[in-house]
Amino acid sequence: MPLYTYVIAHKGNTFIAQTRRSNPKGFPDWMEALPPSLRRQVADPYHGAFKAVPNRQNVWQHRFTADGSELSVTVVQTDE
């Protein structure tokens, strides 16, 4: 299974998670990288969809609102 790297940005903070899964979109493993207080602010990590980043290969992004600010999750397929 491929390795995916999740880069989460929120209010000037960056959090990183990695996991091996069959696809990068159906699992909220990236939430484990967040502090518990912020994790509770993401009401539904399955809401919406990760979208391919234009002009990039194997990179997806999804944006949420958490604690009144944007939380951006960028996923990069790190290997096959």
Mind listing the pLDDT tens digit for each residue in 27-62? 788 888 999 999 888 877 766 788 999 999 999 999
Whole-number percent of the chain with pLDDT over 90: 57
Task: Look at residues 10, 41, 48 and name the one whose alpha carbon lies nearest to residue 26.
Answer: 48
- The SS3 call for residue 33 is helix
User: What does the alpha-carbon distance between residue 53 and residue 33 come to, in Å, rounded to a whole number?
Assistant: 22
Q: Per residue in 4-17, pLDDT tens?
A: 999 999 999 999 99
Q: Is 4 exposed, middle or buried (0-12, 13-18, 19+ CB in 10 A)?
A: buried
**Per-residue pLDDT at 77:** 96
Q: What are phi and psi of 39, to 5 degrees?
A: -55, -40
